[in-house]
Amino acid sequence: MALLLPSSPSPSPPFSPSPLARPRRTLETPLAISRSPPSPALFAQTPQWGPRERVSPLLAAAPQESKWRTRVSFFPSFIKKRGKSREELKEELLAAIAPLDRGADAGPEDQESVDRIASELEAINPVKEPLKSDLLNGKWELLYTTSRSILQTQRPKFLRPNGKIYQAINTDTLRAQNMETWPYFNQVTANLVPLNERRVAVRFDTFKIFGLIPIKAPEGGRGELEITYLDEEIRISRGDKGNLFILKMVDPTYRVPV
pLDDT digits (tens, 9 = 90+) for 32-69: 434 444 444 333 444 444 445 454 554 444 455 444 44
Give residue-wise pLDDT tens across range 142-170.
999 999 999 999 999 888 989 999 999 99
**172 pLDDT exceeds 80?**
yes
62: Cβ contacts below 8 Å, ≥ 6 apart: none
Express as a percent the part of the chain with pLDDT over 90.
Answer: 63
Identify which has the larger pLDDT, 192 or 158: 192
Q: Distance between CA 25 and CA 114 in Å, rounded?
A: 91
Task: Say how far apart CA 207 and CA 221 lie, in whole Å.
Answer: 10
CB 138 within 8 A of CB 254: yes
* Percent of the residues in the chain that have a pLDDT greater than 70, as a whole number: 69
Region 89-104: what's the mean pLDDT?
98
In this structure, of 26-40, 73-87, 209-223, the range with the lowest mean pLDDT score is 26-40
In angstroms, rounded to a whole number, what is the distance separating the alpha carbons of residues 236 and 122?
8
Cα gap 193→190, rounded to integer Å: 10
What angle do helix axes 108-123 and 86-97 make, rounded to 10 degrees? 160
Of 102, 99, 202, 180, whose CA–CA distance to 146 is shortest? 102
CA distance to 92, 231, 254, per residue, from 95 (Å): 5, 18, 27
Predicted pLDDT of residue 43: 35
Cα–Cα dist 198/215, whole Å: 30
Given this model, what pLDDT does residue 97 score? 98
Nearest CA-CA partner of 227 in 215, 239, 210, 217? 239
- CA-to-CA dists, residue 94 to 16, 138, 141, 240, angstroms: 99, 20, 13, 24
3-class DSSP assignment, residue 62:
helix
CA trace torsion 123, 86, 198, 240 (10° rounding) = -70
Q: Decide which of 3.40.50.1440, 2.40.128.280, 3.30.420.240, 3.40.50.1970 is the CATH code for 86-251.
A: 2.40.128.280
Domain ranges of the chain: 36-81, 86-251
Please give the pLDDT value at position 49.
41
pTM over 0.85: no
**Tell me, what's the pLDDT at 250?**
98
